[in-house]
Amino acid sequence: MIWILRHGDAEAGEDKPDAARDLTEKGEQQSVNAGRALKKLGVELDVCLTSPKVRAKRTADFACDALGAEVEVDDRLAGGDFDPLELAAGRGEVMLVGHEPDCSQAIALVTGSRVKMKKGGLAGFDDHILHVLMRPKDLKEIAGD
Protein backbone atom coordinates (compact mmCIF):
# COMPACT_ATOMS: atom_id res chain seq x y z
CA MET A 1 0.00 0.00 0.00
CA ILE A 2 1.19 3.50 -0.81
CA TRP A 3 -0.09 6.43 1.20
CA ILE A 4 0.20 10.02 -0.01
CA LEU A 5 -0.10 12.79 2.57
CA ARG A 6 -0.20 16.41 1.52
CA HIS A 7 1.60 18.65 3.99
CA GLY A 8 -0.53 20.38 6.59
CA ASP A 9 -1.62 24.00 6.63
CA ALA A 10 1.44 26.24 6.27
CA GLU A 11 2.33 29.82 7.05
CA ALA A 12 2.12 32.34 4.21
CA GLY A 13 5.84 33.03 4.45
CA GLU A 14 5.99 36.49 2.88
CA ASP A 15 9.39 37.03 4.50
CA LYS A 16 10.73 33.49 3.94
CA PRO A 17 11.88 31.44 0.99
CA ASP A 18 9.26 28.89 -0.07
CA ALA A 19 11.30 25.92 1.17
CA ALA A 20 11.51 27.46 4.67
CA ARG A 21 7.75 27.92 5.19
CA ASP A 22 6.68 26.11 8.35
CA LEU A 23 3.41 24.59 9.50
CA THR A 24 0.83 26.62 11.35
CA GLU A 25 -0.63 25.26 14.60
CA LYS A 26 -3.52 23.98 12.49
CA GLY A 27 -1.06 22.23 10.17
CA GLU A 28 0.73 20.63 13.11
CA GLN A 29 -2.57 19.26 14.41
CA GLN A 30 -3.57 18.01 10.94
CA SER A 31 -0.26 16.13 10.76
CA VAL A 32 -0.67 14.60 14.21
CA ASN A 33 -4.25 13.59 13.32
CA ALA A 34 -3.05 11.87 10.14
CA GLY A 35 -0.60 9.73 12.08
CA ARG A 36 -3.07 8.90 14.83
CA ALA A 37 -5.79 8.02 12.30
CA LEU A 38 -3.47 5.70 10.39
CA LYS A 39 -2.46 4.03 13.65
CA LYS A 40 -6.12 3.50 14.60
CA LEU A 41 -6.69 2.00 11.16
CA GLY A 42 -3.90 -0.49 11.83
CA VAL A 43 -1.44 0.88 9.29
CA GLU A 44 2.17 -0.14 9.85
CA LEU A 45 4.53 1.84 7.64
CA ASP A 46 7.91 0.51 6.63
CA VAL A 47 9.13 3.99 5.72
CA CYS A 48 7.97 7.55 5.10
CA LEU A 49 9.59 9.57 2.32
CA THR A 50 9.18 13.33 2.43
CA SER A 51 9.96 16.49 0.55
CA PRO A 52 12.86 18.39 2.11
CA LYS A 53 10.72 21.55 2.42
CA VAL A 54 10.15 22.43 6.08
CA ARG A 55 6.34 22.19 6.00
CA ALA A 56 6.45 18.70 4.45
CA LYS A 57 9.27 17.39 6.65
CA ARG A 58 7.51 18.56 9.79
CA THR A 59 4.24 17.01 8.55
CA ALA A 60 6.05 13.70 8.10
CA ASP A 61 7.71 13.94 11.53
CA PHE A 62 4.43 14.68 13.34
CA ALA A 63 2.50 11.95 11.48
CA CYS A 64 5.21 9.32 11.86
CA ASP A 65 5.69 10.00 15.55
CA ALA A 66 2.40 8.18 16.23
CA LEU A 67 3.33 5.41 13.82
CA GLY A 68 6.91 4.83 14.93
CA ALA A 69 8.01 5.01 11.30
CA GLU A 70 11.35 6.19 9.97
CA VAL A 71 11.29 9.44 7.95
CA GLU A 72 13.65 9.89 5.00
CA VAL A 73 14.04 13.06 2.94
CA ASP A 74 13.75 12.49 -0.80
CA ASP A 75 14.41 15.44 -3.12
CA ARG A 76 12.12 13.93 -5.78
CA LEU A 77 9.19 15.05 -3.59
CA ALA A 78 10.36 18.69 -3.39
CA GLY A 79 8.15 19.85 -6.24
CA GLY A 80 7.17 18.65 -9.67
CA ASP A 81 5.90 15.36 -11.04
CA PHE A 82 6.91 12.14 -9.32
CA ASP A 83 6.08 8.48 -9.81
CA PRO A 84 4.92 6.99 -6.49
CA LEU A 85 5.50 3.45 -7.74
CA GLU A 86 9.14 4.26 -8.46
CA LEU A 87 9.63 5.94 -5.08
CA ALA A 88 8.01 3.08 -3.17
CA ALA A 89 9.55 0.19 -5.13
CA GLY A 90 10.85 -2.50 -2.80
CA ARG A 91 10.12 -0.46 0.34
CA GLY A 92 6.98 -2.24 1.62
CA GLU A 93 4.18 -0.04 2.97
CA VAL A 94 5.21 3.54 2.24
CA MET A 95 3.92 7.03 2.93
CA LEU A 96 4.96 9.89 0.66
CA VAL A 97 4.64 13.46 1.96
CA GLY A 98 4.60 16.25 -0.58
CA HIS A 99 2.89 19.19 -2.19
CA GLU A 100 0.11 20.12 -4.60
CA PRO A 101 -0.54 19.76 -7.43
CA ASP A 102 2.09 16.99 -7.37
CA CYS A 103 0.24 14.68 -4.95
CA SER A 104 -3.00 14.76 -6.95
CA GLN A 105 -1.12 14.27 -10.21
CA ALA A 106 0.75 11.27 -8.78
CA ILE A 107 -2.53 9.65 -7.76
CA ALA A 108 -3.96 10.25 -11.23
CA LEU A 109 -0.81 8.82 -12.84
CA VAL A 110 -1.09 5.54 -10.93
CA THR A 111 -4.84 5.09 -10.47
CA GLY A 112 -6.47 7.20 -13.18
CA SER A 113 -8.53 8.84 -10.41
CA ARG A 114 -8.88 12.60 -10.48
CA VAL A 115 -8.59 13.99 -6.97
CA LYS A 116 -7.72 17.28 -5.34
CA MET A 117 -5.74 16.80 -2.15
CA LYS A 118 -6.53 19.20 0.66
CA LYS A 119 -3.76 20.41 2.97
CA GLY A 120 -3.38 17.62 5.49
CA GLY A 121 -5.37 15.21 3.30
CA LEU A 122 -4.43 11.57 2.79
CA ALA A 123 -4.90 9.03 0.00
CA GLY A 124 -4.13 5.32 -0.06
CA PHE A 125 -3.82 3.02 -3.05
CA ASP A 126 -2.32 -0.22 -4.28
CA ASP A 127 -2.46 -2.27 -7.45
CA HIS A 128 -3.45 0.92 -9.35
CA ILE A 129 -6.67 1.21 -7.30
CA LEU A 130 -7.46 4.22 -5.10
CA HIS A 131 -8.88 2.72 -1.91
CA VAL A 132 -9.26 5.78 0.28
CA LEU A 133 -9.20 9.56 0.09
CA MET A 134 -9.59 11.34 3.43
CA ARG A 135 -9.97 15.01 4.18
CA PRO A 136 -8.35 16.51 7.28
CA LYS A 137 -11.73 16.54 9.04
CA ASP A 138 -12.11 12.79 8.35
CA LEU A 139 -8.66 12.14 9.82
CA LYS A 140 -9.49 14.29 12.86
CA GLU A 141 -12.65 12.25 13.50
CA ILE A 142 -10.82 8.91 13.16
CA ALA A 143 -7.96 10.18 15.35
CA GLY A 144 -10.47 11.10 18.05
CA ASP A 145 -9.44 14.74 18.45
Mean pLDDT of the chain: 96
Angle separating helix axes 25-40 and 54-67, nearest 10 degrees:
30
SS (H, E, C) 12-27: CCCCCCHHHCCECHHH
pLDDT of residue 15: 85
pLDDT classification of 13: cutoffs 50, 70, 90: confident
Q: Percent of the chain scored above 90 by pLDDT?
A: 97
E-assigned strands of the chain?
A: 2-6, 47-50, 71-73, 94-98, 122-126, 129-134
Please state, in angstroms and rounded to a whole number, the distance separating the CA atoms of residues 96 and 132: 15
Question: What is the per-residue pLDDT across 92-141, written as a single tens digit (0 to 9) for each?
Answer: 999 999 999 999 999 999 999 999 999 999 999 999 999 999 999 999 99
Give the pTM: 0.97
